[in-house]
Amino acid sequence: MTAPLSVEVRMSRNSHARVFAFLLLLSAFVVACGSPQPPVEPAKPASPPKPVVDVKAVMHDQLSRVTTVQEAVIRGDLEAVAEPATWIANHEEAPMPAGTATYAPNIKKTARMAAGAKDLASAATATAQLVAACGACHQAGNTPITWPALTKPTEGTGIATHMLEHQWAIDLMYQGLAQPSDEAWRKGVEALRAARLATNDLPKDAKLTKEIVAYEKKVHELAGKALIVTDLGSKVAVYGEALASCASCHGLHGKVWGPGLPKTPAGQ
């Protein structure tokens, strides 16, 4: 009776093992089927490529507005200074060349000063500082400006010819600060010093004649002073005074004259 009992016990143990294995497998299946799977995170979309910025075009756009500010001051048109100067102050700058990042705040600061100027003298001073700030940035980044050639006005007589000579001289001085270029600065100063208004070109109004002569004299005195200054601060001061003198002279007749787009007040 002992042998059959041993077989029966072995069979019982084998059955229990099979049952246990089955239950273990079933348990694993239930766990696998019943457990929530973590959600599959969607693939993050690729970042769009950064737009390619034409730095040269952006700088040209900014410089054209600086020129517009300068022309508005020369005309004596304080109202026209605000829009381009505000654009420069608020516009997000393009990627700057190496070594120039610290110059952008000063450019914006001086543009903001020009935009908020309450009189032409303040606008002229801020504009001179703005032009010089651009020149300092160009020099630091080793990015000189390629200017179109400025043609010397045809020699002649008359107030129109004289004004063109003044404009040519002031534009050369502008290039001398904005590039910067000592050669252009000196050429402009010498041209301004030489461009004198003939007596017979003056208006017949006694008051206007006297005031125009005074401004003319001041401009030529400034040109003489500009010939001997060498530091940037002195150049900026002289240039600002020259712009203010142009603006004041153009405003004597009650209209807005000068380079750029002339603007005549209603009723004038």
Q: What is the pLDDT of residues 20-66, one digit of tens each?
A: 555 555 455 444 454 455 666 666 777 776 665 566 777 888 899 99
Please give the Cα distance from 264 to 255 (Å, whole number): 5
Please give the Cα distance from 112 to 59 (Å, whole number): 18
Mean pLDDT of 66-81: 93
State the residue for tokens 């003319």.
216
Is residue 229 within 8 Å of 238, Cβ to Cβ?
yes
State the residue for tokens 């200017």.
147
Please give the Cα distance from 125 to 174 (Å, whole number): 13
Write the CA distances from 61 to 48, 64, 65, 66, 226, integer angstroms.
26, 5, 7, 9, 29
Q: In the prediction, which pLDDT does 49 show?
A: 67
Burial of 90 (0-12, 13-18, 19+ CB in 10 A): exposed
Sorting pLDDT into bands at 50, 70 and 90, what band is 173?
Answer: very high
Q: How many CA atoms lie within 13 A of 209 on its CB side?
A: 9
> Residue 227 corresponds to which tokens in the numbers above?
């010939």
Q: In the prediction, which pLDDT does 268 show?
A: 41
| DSSP-H helix ranges across the chain | 2-34, 55-75, 78-90, 104-115, 120-140, 159-178, 182-194, 206-228, 232-250
Report the Cα 106 to chain-centroid distance in Å. 10
Please give the Cα distance from 263 to 255 (Å, whole number): 8
Cis peptide bond prior to 48, omega within 30° of 0: no
Mean pLDDT, the chain, integer: 80
Of residues 208 and 142, more confidently modeled: 142
Q: Which of 83-87, 161-165, 170-174 has the lowest mean pLDDT?
A: 161-165
Cβ of 218: how many Cβ atoms within 10 Å?
16
Question: Is residue 2 predicted with pLDDT exceeding 50?
Answer: no
Q: pLDDT tens for residues 210-267?
A: 888 888 889 889 999 999 999 999 999 999 999 999 998 888 766 555 555 545 443 3
Q: In the prediction, which pLDDT does 20 show?
A: 54
Question: Is residue 17 predicted with pLDDT exceeding 90?
Answer: no
Q: Which of 172, 167, 165, 239 is nearest to 198 (CA)?
A: 165
What is the number of residues in the chain? Answer: 268
pTM assigned to the model: 0.74
Q: In the prediction, which pLDDT does 250 show?
A: 83
Q: In the prediction, which pLDDT does 127 show?
A: 98
Domain coordinates in residue numbering, the chain: 55-250
Is residue 83 within 8 Å of 99, Cβ to Cβ?
no
> Residue 191 corresponds to which tokens in the numbers above?
């041209």
Q: In the prediction, which pLDDT does 256 show?
A: 56
Sorting pLDDT into bands at 50, 70 and 90, what band is 7?
Answer: very low
Question: Is residue 162 predicted with pLDDT exceeding 90?
Answer: no
Q: In the prediction, which pLDDT does 233 show?
A: 95
